[in-house]
Structure 1
């Protein structure tokens, strides 16, 4: 709704005498820029009572119109910003806000399990769709003015807090009462994956936020049936009521955008996505969302890297992003993605035009920018009938500029909002540059004429015998000028310009003049250098000849390439699958054939198709394996790489969260582990709670997006945990159940009891059973569709979980860590479990004191399928050596030892039909080693996934040289930027967080720098 009004009919009482003015204006002889950049010359814009009456040529001027000659001026529709919190009170920050919790104190604070919001609202206080921005909004002219000054006349504003944020209100930036500036009360509904100021413990991770939003959609749909036992839930009611509005999701990053879009796709919602600065890095995936975007023009500042010691801490990725960020809006345009522009995230709104011009230099067209600031945002939220163009009947929201609005020398003179003038740079209305005859007359009648040379509204000089630089200001109405007395210069009667320095070296006095503008004549009064009164007149004489442009032209904006991933070790184009023929290698099959010397392996379409001697294949790429070993790729059964979050530890049972929802395909550990011969990793939820999240098996397809990492058609798994981490032994203030080992068993029993009851109810009455994502995953376990890998140490707990499993009729697929497995190996074999353990880790906490180096061998001899895992990104690079330790400690055969990191984990993960050995028909996940893979001297020379060479030791050597050269180029470019006087940011280390079992999105550890300087890391060794 648009609150249109006649001042004669206001419902508000008048305290005083009514001032009824219709406010009719005619802006003549202007260049009107209408919809789509269509331009009308010598045109007229007529407005009345805050609305546009007409816009075009040949208009008949109303008799009562105030006529404003706009010769030489341009008129544009005012801009619209869809992503602000203008006029909305800031939310109170709480302990639960992102970044508010000290990581060291994470376990030391009592958890806030329940919402502390009073009233019949949602159980989680990060879900507050009942927030109505129209009810909270207050006009704030101090914040409106900076936006008006850069051309904005209307904004969409909302509460930037929480996951479900409520509705937004579209308002103008007029300085009027709130009821007069509202364009549309419920203009949008807003969402994000940031819990914001919520002090509630859940969610504590990105995947938890995703699960919470997914569950909210499910709960809201269920609530439509008004279930009796739910009672009244104003949050779910508001959530449902808002689904017909434009849905805006804050992604703020290329991966966040995709996370949001997938949630929308799941529930049939097409979000408008608020982007970040880096979508150009994955623009194909961004285009695939089919979404419209709100794109900021906020770019990182160049860093001060002149000191080499500072420069080495800055990652190449961050420097490349600084260079390429201005290409982001242009990338959207080139990809044909609908978008509008926003001031969101700017440090200072004054940067808006400067940053916009950087975008123009980097590919964005001015026509698309104008559309993205006017028609597109108005259309997206359904207010194009009110604003966004210069059409009759719309709000009189328009800019008057001195030229094309995006030209660097153009000034916005006025911004009219709802038919009311707001001065921006009124002094620019008239081009005052030129020379004026300045006549100064003293009180006694004597006068002096000099030349006033005006260079700009803030700079002028006086030309007599000398040229005197003065202090000058012009605001379109008032003139102010002061200049020193000239040595030897003429002076009016009274000696006001006498001169030079006086005795004793005192400086000359100054003359001060002030006055008003009256067309081309300026006049006023002042004082001469001795304080006597004078009057003055300045009359325009001639224009200043244009100054030749001697400034150096901008060099072509050379920028580096976008890499996939956006890292020094990335690809400028993704590698493709080729037929491969690896010849004359020692082929370590992991099958009954054992090791085959001088053997060839042929790969076609990503599969192993032939194994034999003297093979030939036309068109295949030949790889010489002479003197080398060809082995199946290593499979890490227990890893925490390639994820944005690992633990959702706020509750005891969080089976609804999914590692798959927050994979990070740009984790450098993917590349590093390829260099260690790893081709697949099982990415587990952490061990903060009894029933953690759903896991994800990935292939290390370096350069693929998050979906491309996933191991296709894989049996789903879930992470459980026992022991110290679950009962929070290290916490001094734990209020989350369980607090003892026996409590852990009760949590498991209770969870599966609830799941069994839920399964029965769902089958009996599916239409009235609320779908529960947490219980869905547990039912999948009961139905043998999802399988458990369990963090475990102590024999008593291991057997306790087996009892629970036996009671509910499922099997614990894998016990991981299992450092006391040698004590219960017979029970595990009888139960049907696999084991995934460390080779020789112990003594890092109380429950591992009984660990022994013979554990893996003992379990293997009992008949268990035993794996050696990493649980550590560094150890994963040497899993071949970890496997070899059992040859030393337990006398295990080399073949059996190597299977513990290849075929055995494939069996444990139910993918042995595709990976884990070299066999015809299996996936071509292969590693060419320089030596026996169990040797400490062995290096992975080529690592192949699905027949694609993702790591090559020779390419790696070239990339290291490239990184050095590219870093140097960018460092020099930043130093050059500093020398132009541009504002600089301090050199900032680029952190890479290493997640592990006990991490909760906050980290404490050791700061390290890679040898290539490309990544700074915080390591955490909690397990």
Structure 2
């Protein structure tokens, strides 16, 4: 017998807990009923782009049986009338800590003191930031309160992970019902979760982003080695290997971290699915080439409260523009063909999710793409499309019931169904009165029509002559009374009960006889057009035209990528740094990224001609020692040797210091690790290609370098009493570190040469490159004794120290340096800023130069780098170095020290077109860089800079006015917080500011 009942009866049935936990005993009478329902009359989206009108959705025992237009209600199914409603597959959130235990540190905290190894008991990894052995499904515990909140905004399932560590272990795919964990787990292991965050780890290593990347890189190699060895048991590596076939999910901190992680993944044939931060649009072209998917938050920033003009000055252009453009992020990615999914993570109030989703649609996201991002794509990314993501036959009955288009303003979610069980957020008001009926009173039949609402119905009897008779109708719960006068003979008075859309009872006819009556529902009343219009969502307001996307996404970013052109610079004073010396009234042709000709009277078809009369042209300045353009830590200070870490992994192409230094004529910089340990990390040599991606900035012909350090910093004796653990603690210990590590490296090389199986050790591999002359040392140094020591250690192992940087006592050992073959990259006139530089003198550079040492002046400071031409001039003042040789201190000589003089450092045909046009003598403090070229591309132009300042001011004003308008119109605002966009690092900075 078909069961058809009211929504009240349905909900009482749904509230019964149906036992499907077959291994659990039942304390009570067994209830064998199935969840067998037919939802009728709704528009059903069976997937993101397929909908069925007037559909009957049949579900049984938690699964979809069928979806058919006008389908019949099967025998035995409870009918749920949802006419006029819309049913969508329930949403899936792939980034959630739902049901997970609170992360906590392993073992006892070291109270800020260095912790060299993991505190975790057992045969696990040496590093407690690696937790691949954590299995989310084994710790999952449903959270009724959190589940209710997520269901209310449309989610029926989440991929839960414990958000703790660099490797966080496995994720589990679970439903958001109120049953036991056994019933809610859809897939035990849905993916492997990773991040660039140590989480609760109290261990020292890693304390920088580059250290985290190095740890992951080494772990991939260790895991491969582990599969082939029998030397040790390592449960972490076993677990790591076990999760490699799962989807790999990576949580990152910004758009550049996506590029870093993707590069790491490519080394090991891994394609990560990225949980983004909402700024992906700022590097869209680069991200599109990764061919992967993104989980996007919808936590669009609130406007800043810029009412106070001084507060407004603290808000960066990047922050202003991100407020405006962030809501367009989902649309930009989707329109670029990038698969996306959405997460509620990051929202201060989860209940704002639908509002922000609709805002993304308002900013250009196609509704089909939005629904796909909520349903099918997340199911696909965790390989669960057999169970979730749609409402096809055989899938879990996870869906939502709404009163209209999901993306229309004002649309509400009435119910969320999880595994065939309904959770009601708002009662579905199924019409029980309004409509057209056949009213049978005894032997008489009438056409009864009821309009209005169930709360205020209006009833009438329609007659054949287009007239009607008013009916008085009263209702008390399920009881009805009707009365009307069909003619002049008397009143018909009826009393009865509701039974769904059919009514029946007893009453008296017009002549006073007791009769049976019934009213059979025929069809709904046609809705009034005005009422229908009132139900439609208001059209989205037209948005003002948004500002341009700029690269990089900060002040002075460009809208069109600068490219090489042909430039003919005429009539300049040219400082060649070659045998030709300084040429007066000379021409230089830049073509195809190279210097192609130098002379007088040069011609070039199609060239942009620059009249350089009265101007000076020099090679681009090269900074041998820089710490700009580095993300999340310049030091990996946790161990005595961190040769495995790479500054190249963390190049920050968005640092405005790149642009500022272009304005000072700098074209190439060596980005060095800091001086926190004897053996630091590998260098990155970049060209200051402003706005390009980190990989595009790298000087592709550059030789590999590494940073070493001597002195106070590396032995930690001046770090305080908490730092008495890490070896070395004395200058003697520093020497022993070098001897020990190079001895290990030589033995490592012998093992490789033997052909025997070996574990790839990235630390020793890098040191072996030094021994073999394949990688070069730049060493932070001050005292003559330590300088001598390192040269002797190098000679012991058959290599040479390439460069001593800082080298403020270089004048004492200049002859020994020249004999050894070491160069000196010094400060021009720094001294007395700490004990070990007390004997520094401003004549240091000149004295080393006189002894035949290749001398450079470096910055080690973001501000000083903008005036390295003036630093070079100090060699003339202190020591009488010639002007040409002084200029070489910041051009050709650092090129030699970096083994790049074949390409840059002088103006010579065939070399890279890295040149600077100065307003006057390049060593004068009054001269300015007017134009800076790299590879024949104009990256800085002073006239364009002045125009850019006006454009930036106008753009700031426009955005501030928009924020003020938003506040005036009731928009939420956030307080202005004064914080730098990027850190200015120095040698002795030890922390990762993003932790």
Residue pairs, 1:518-533, within 5 angstroms: none
Task: Flag the 1:548–1:191 CA change in 2: closer, same or farther, 3 A.
Answer: closer
Match of 1:212 among 209, 215, 224: 215
Find out whether 1:664 has 2:652 as its counterpart.
yes
Per the alignment, in what secondary structure is the counterpart of residue 359 of structure 1? helix
Aligned to 2:590: 603
* TM-fit CA distance, 1:8: 7.0
Match of 1:924 among 910, 913, 932: 913
Aligned to 1:898: 887
Aligned to 1:764: 754
Aligned to 1:189: 192
* TM-fit CA distance, 1:714: 1.2
Find out whether 1:169 has 2:181 as its counterpart.
no
The unaligned stretches of length 5 or more in structure 2 are: 1-16, 436-451, 457-475, 479-496, 503-524
* TM-fit CA distance, 1:161: 1.0
Task: Flag the 1:301–1:586 CA change in 2: closer, same or farther, 3 A.
Answer: same
Match of 1:150 among 147, 150, 153: 153
The 8 Å contact of residues 434 and 453 in structure 2, kept in 1 or not, is answered as no
The 8 Å contact of residues 95 and 198 in structure 1, kept in 2 or not, is answered as no
Find out whether 1:706 has 2:694 as its counterpart.
yes
Cα distance in structure 1, aligned partners of 2:928 and 2:230: 63
* TM-fit CA distance, 1:518: 10
Per the alignment, in what secondary structure is the counterpart of residue 932 of structure 1? coil
Residue pairs, 1:113-512, within 5 angstroms: 113-228=116-231, 231-426=232-427
- 1:54-93 superposed Cα distances (whole Å, 9 cap, x missing partner): 1112534222111111110111111111111110012026
Cα distance in structure 1, aligned partners of 2:455 and 2:960: 41
* TM-fit CA distance, 1:520: 11
Task: Flag the 1:374–1:430 CA change in 2: closer, same or farther, 3 A.
Answer: farther
Aligned to 1:725: 713
Per the alignment, in what secondary structure is the counterpart of residue 970 of structure 1? helix
* TM-fit CA distance, 1:818: 0.2
* TM-fit CA distance, 1:110: 1.7
Task: Flag the 1:198–1:172 CA change in 2: closer, same or farther, 3 A.
Answer: same
- 1:771-801 superposed Cα distances (whole Å, 9 cap, x missing partner): 0111110010011000000000000000000
Larger mean CA deviation between 13-22 and 773-782 belongs to: 13-22
Find out whether 1:646 has 2:634 as its counterpart.
yes
Aligned to 1:996: 986
Match of 2:791 among 790, 802, 817: 802
Aligned to 1:888: 877
Aligned to 1:589: 576
Per the alignment, in what secondary structure is the counterpart of residue 817 of structure 2? helix
Larger mean CA deviation between 375-384 and 670-679 belongs to: 375-384
Aligned to 1:913: 902
- 1:302-322 superposed Cα distances (whole Å, 9 cap, x missing partner): 110111011011101111011
The 8 Å contact of residues 54 and 70 in structure 2, kept in 1 or not, is answered as no
* TM-fit CA distance, 1:866: 0.2
Cα distance in structure 2, aligned partners of 1:454 and 1:968: 53
Aligned to 2:962: 973
Cα distance in structure 2, aligned partners of 1:933 and 1:757: 50
Task: Flag the 1:197–1:67 CA change in 2: closer, same or farther, 3 A.
Answer: same
Aligned to 1:486: none
Aligned to 1:572: 559
Task: Flag the 1:658–1:994 CA change in 2: closer, same or farther, 3 A.
Answer: same
* TM-fit CA distance, 1:557: 3.4
Per the alignment, in what secondary structure is the counterpart of residue 75 of structure 1? strand
Residue pairs, 1:753-902, within 5 angstroms: 753-766=743-756, 768-902=757-891
Task: Flag the 1:429–1:125 CA change in 2: closer, same or farther, 3 A.
Answer: farther
* TM-fit CA distance, 1:553: 7.2
Task: Flag the 1:1003–1:147 CA change in 2: closer, same or farther, 3 A.
Answer: closer
Larger mean CA deviation between 627-636 and 47-56 belongs to: 47-56
Cα distance in structure 2, aligned partners of 1:729 and 1:1002: 22
The 8 Å contact of residues 586 and 629 in structure 1, kept in 2 or not, is answered as yes
Cα distance in structure 2, aligned partners of 1:432 and 1:973: 50
The 8 Å contact of residues 427 and 477 in structure 1, kept in 2 or not, is answered as no
Aligned to 1:79: 91
Count of residues paired in the alignment: 897
* TM-fit CA distance, 1:259: 1.3
* TM-fit CA distance, 1:365: 0.5
| TM-score, normalised by the number of residues in structure 2 | 0.87
* TM-fit CA distance, 1:109: 3.7
Cα distance in structure 1, aligned partners of 2:612 and 2:371: 59
RMSD: 2.6
The 8 Å contact of residues 18 and 33 in structure 2, kept in 1 or not, is answered as no
Cα distance in structure 2, aligned partners of 1:594 and 1:325: 53
Find out whether 1:38 has 2:50 as its counterpart.
yes
Per the alignment, in what secondary structure is the counterpart of residue 570 of structure 2? strand
Per the alignment, in what secondary structure is the counterpart of residue 244 of structure 2? helix
Cα distance in structure 2, aligned partners of 1:394 and 1:547: 36
* TM-fit CA distance, 1:425: 2.2
- 1:754-785 superposed Cα distances (whole Å, 9 cap, x missing partner): 1111111122134x200011111001001100
Task: Flag the 1:663–1:553 CA change in 2: closer, same or farther, 3 A.
Answer: closer
Per the alignment, in what secondary structure is the counterpart of residue 878 of structure 2? helix
The 8 Å contact of residues 886 and 892 in structure 1, kept in 2 or not, is answered as yes
* TM-fit CA distance, 1:454: 8.7
The 8 Å contact of residues 96 and 196 in structure 1, kept in 2 or not, is answered as no
Aligned to 1:469: none
Per the alignment, in what secondary structure is the counterpart of residue 48 of structure 2? helix
Task: Flag the 1:549–1:214 CA change in 2: closer, same or farther, 3 A.
Answer: closer
Aligned to 1:10: 22
Cα distance in structure 2, aligned partners of 1:939 and 1:302: 38
Task: Flag the 1:638–1:427 CA change in 2: closer, same or farther, 3 A.
Answer: same
- 1:445-481 superposed Cα distances (whole Å, 9 cap, x missing partner): xxxxxx99999xxxxxxxxxxxxxxxxxxxx999xxx
Runs ≥4 in structure 1, deviation > 3 angstroms? Answer: 5-9, 93-97, 427-434, 451-455, 516-521, 540-553
The 8 Å contact of residues 78 and 152 in structure 1, kept in 2 or not, is answered as yes
The 8 Å contact of residues 676 and 940 in structure 1, kept in 2 or not, is answered as yes
Cα distance in structure 2, aligned partners of 1:9 and 1:899: 80
Cα distance in structure 1, aligned partners of 2:60 and 2:536: 44
Task: Flag the 1:550–1:298 CA change in 2: closer, same or farther, 3 A.
Answer: closer
Match of 2:32 among 20, 36, 57: 20
Per the alignment, in what secondary structure is the counterpart of residue 27 of structure 1? strand
Aligned to 2:68: 56
Aligned to 2:486: none
Cα distance in structure 2, aligned partners of 1:796 and 1:430: 93
Cα distance in structure 1, aligned partners of 2:306 and 2:842: 48
* TM-fit CA distance, 1:431: 12
Per the alignment, in what secondary structure is the counterpart of residue 321 of structure 1? helix
Per the alignment, in what secondary structure is the counterpart of residue 365 of structure 2? coil
* TM-fit CA distance, 1:20: 2.5
Task: Flag the 1:520–1:969 CA change in 2: closer, same or farther, 3 A.
Answer: farther
* TM-fit CA distance, 1:348: 1.5
Cα distance in structure 2, aligned partners of 1:323 and 1:431: 47
Find out whether 1:743 has 2:744 as its counterpart.
no
Aligned to 1:465: none
Larger mean CA deviation between 298-307 and 841-850 belongs to: 298-307
* TM-fit CA distance, 1:648: 0.3
* TM-fit CA distance, 1:426: 2.0
Cα distance in structure 2, aligned partners of 1:313 and 1:391: 53
